[in-house]
Amino acid sequence: MNPTLEQLFMKVQKPGRYTGGELNSVVKEKGAVGIRFAFCFPDIYEVGMSHLGMKLLYGLFNAQPDVWCERVFAPDVDMEALMRENGVKLFGLESRDPIDTFDFVGFTLQYELSFTAILNMLDLAGIPLRSADRGDGCPLVIAGGPCACNPEPIADFIDLFTLGEGEEVNLELFELYRRHKATGFHREDFLREAAQIEGVYVPSLYEVQYHEDGTVASVTPKDGAPEKVRKRIILDMDAAYYPDRFVVPFIDIVHDRAMSEIFRGCIRGCRFCQAGFIYRPVREKSAETINAQSHALCENTGYEEFSLSSLSTSDYTELEKLLPMLLDWAEKEQTNISLPSLRVDGFSEELAAKLNVLRRSGLTFAPEAGTQRLRDAINKNLSEPEILDTAKKAFSAGWTAVKLYFMMGLPTETLEDVAGIAELAQKIVNCYYYNPNKPKGKGVNVSVSVSCFVPKPFTPFQWEPQDTIEELEEKQRHLRVSVTTKKVSLHWHDAQVSFLEGVFARGDRRLCAVMEEAFRRGCKRDSWSEHFSLQTWLDVFRDLGLDPAFYANRRRDFSEVLPWDHLDYGVTKAFLAAENRRAHESQTTPNCRQSCSGCGAARWKGGVCTNARN
């Protein structure tokens, strides 16, 4: 007996991950649509369904009458085993049709460690892994999202990448596809023409040559593909599409609430932060637009909680205007507004209390580095007095817990900087005990989370060597002995995982073979610690004659051709190099609202680059 999907659902944990049928999921008449799109998130349902970008494009694509976009997530271990055992191919949640019959299979690239999950999903779908092996009858396999800024490690598996924001470029791809489908679709012709659309990168149209030492010698376009592929951005955020409804899941997901995007980009320019560079320039939505969109979302979903989404919400210029507008209806309708760690001192206490700012998120800071010198080097504009001041205020209001986020392995970091993490945490503990109004009989808990710094493309640190696993572990030990109180609890990320992330982040095309072989040897859930095996990866690298340290731990020369140099995110290489030099001199750079540093993003003539400064 070959069990139907329904029977499989009864045998797995949380069938709600696979059943579809949630409120606001879109079901269309198969015969009435011309383009079927499988929106694939290479992680499980609970993670993928929390992702705002997916909700946005799902809504936008389905707003096109002849397009039907469905959701696809990576099945968990139990479901995957049952699917393979019973010959069930990866299917769209809405129609339950196998996705190898769709026109487009699109992946969102949110983190490097999901790359092998993509291979696994293609394999489960019965789609050939390599673009070169796909015929005209295969879906077009496309990908976009932040990791598309260095897509080389998966270039052999993806037919085309979209760079930057997806709203316009995908619709242009659909338009081209309609034309080709009407006259007989040929993959190569389509890809060649698609490469002419701004923001579309067709890797098979670029030939990469290497020097003897393994560095890239040249990347040469062919068939008229552009020398440089420039990312796309949306300039007018008020006119941009925003969904008025989200799919409301039945099962509990990571972020189960309505979310409104309030701006894109970030003015700050923290030198370690890729998002701070690839999304430039900052473009805001007006308070009126956000208010209207937020209210519609809550009405159409019934969500009891709602949040504002951006890279740095306290930098939104109209926050003081927006919050009372939101509170006006949210209070009446018993909807909670949750805000990420805001700088609480900017608000009146009354407003802060209403928002439950603290209740929801607790008090969190991200100093990122333990000393002012290193914070200057990474351009993280948060001073010790600021942190201590806010902590004092929170303690006198009755709070007893603080969370601090740091990074380890930052360029120029010394053991002194590492010890500085412990010192800062200790000063916060002291603040608590000096506070005369501290709650009686209660201690304070300062939780310190330390991640390992991974140098990323399109940041000033793209040339820097990543600390080796040994160096990171040595620093972790140093931090452990520097902490002398039980009031401070330490948590850190696994240095092994960060190492692999670092390899992929700045990898080149030769990693495609590594990726495929590692997948064949069982690596397909690298972002889940219980499935992660560095040893398997090291074995594959050794067997294929490549050195992972070449990618992760090597200092690049400013003159080196980087594997992503033919992609253009607006920010110039000259600017990034200048920022790198300033980092080594512990020189800060003003944010975009204080003054323009000429990063290159002004070429779009929009957003913060053209706003008046005072």
Partner 1 sequence: MREIRIRFRKTGRARYISHLDLTRAMTRAVRRAGLPIWYTEGFNKHPYLTFAAPLSLGFEGLAESMDLRLLEDVPEDEIVRRLNAVLPEGLAAVSAAEPVHKAGELETARYRLTFTGELSQMAAFLAQDAILVEKRTKKGGMKPVDLKPSLAGAVYTPSQDGEGIMEVTLPCGSNETINPALIAAAYNAFVKECTGVEQAADCRVLRTGLFCGENLPFC
Interface ranges with ligand SF4 (CB under 6 A) = 280-281, 592, 596-599, 601-602, 608-609
381 binds partner 1 (CB under 8 A): no
447 makes contact with partner 1 (CB under 8 A): no
Residues 6+ apart with CB under 8 A from 577: 460, 463, 558
**Which of 526, 10, 17, 524 is closest to 253 using CA atoms?**
17
Cα separation, 607 vs 584, in Å, equals: 30
527 closest CA partner among 77, 17, 52, 112: 112
The reply to whether 64 sits near partner 1 by the rule CB under 8 A is no
**Span from 13-21, 127-135, 310-318, 362-370 in contact with partner 1 (CB under 8 A):** 13-21
Q: Which does 299 bind (CB under 5 to 8 A by kind): ligand SF4, partner 1, none?
A: partner 1
- List C-alpha distances in Å: 2 to 9, 70, 199, 312, 554: 14, 25, 45, 51, 53
Q: Which stretch binds partner 1 (CB under 8 A): 3-11, 108-116, 323-331, 556-564?
A: 3-11
Task: Work out whether 16 is an interface residue with partner 1 (CB under 8 A).
Answer: yes
- Please, which residue, 207 or 304, has the CB nearer to partner 1? 304
Interface with partner 1 includes 569 (CB under 8 A)? no
When asked if residue 331 is in the footprint of partner 1 (CB under 8 A), the reply is no
Least CB distance to partner 1 at residue 68 (A): 16
CA distance 446 to 449: 10
The alpha carbons of the chain give a radius of gyration, in whole angstroms, of: 25
Which structure tokens are listed for 67? Answer: 């397009």
Residue 416 interacting partner from ligand SF4, partner 1, none (CB closer than 5 to 8 Å by kind):
none
Q: How far is the CB of 564 from ligand SF4 (least distance, A)?
A: 19
**Of positions 23, 235, 353, 415, contacts partner 1 by CB under 8 A:** 23
When asked if residue 300 is in the footprint of partner 1 (CB under 8 A), the reply is yes
Decide if residue 22 touches partner 1 (CB under 8 A). yes
The reply to whether 172 sits near partner 1 by the rule CB under 8 A is no
299 binds partner 1 (CB under 8 A): yes
Residue 248 binds to partner 1 (criterion: CB under 8 A): yes
Q: C-beta of 230: minimal distance to ligand SF4 in Å?
A: 15
197 binds, among ligand SF4, partner 1, none (CB under 5 to 8 A by kind): none
Q: Which of 166, 194, 174, 187 is nearest to 109 (CA)?
A: 166
The Cα–Cα gap between 164 and 230 comes to 8
d(CA 255, CA 309): 12
Contact between 250 and partner 1 (CB under 8 A)?
A: yes
Q: How many other CB atoms are found less than 10 A from the CB of residue 530?
A: 6
Nearest-approach distance from CB 310 to ligand SF4, in angstroms? 15
Q: Residue-wise over 326-344: b if at least 16 C-beta within 10 A, else e?
A: beeebeeeebbbbbbbbeb
**Residue 68 near residue 103 (C-beta atoms within 8 A):** no
> Residue 334 CB, nearest distance to partner 1 (Å)?
6
Name the residue type at position 554: R
Contact 442, 453 (CB under 8 A): no
| Per CB under 8 A, 304 contacts partner 1 | yes
Tell me if 241 contacts partner 1 by CB under 8 A. no
Residue 301 lies near partner 1 (rule: CB under 8 A) = yes
Size of the site for partner 1 (CB under 8 A): 23
Sign of CA dihedral 387, 389, 391, 394: negative
**List of residues contacting partner 1 (CB under 8 A):** 1, 7, 9-10, 15-16, 19-23, 248, 250-252, 299-304, 333-334
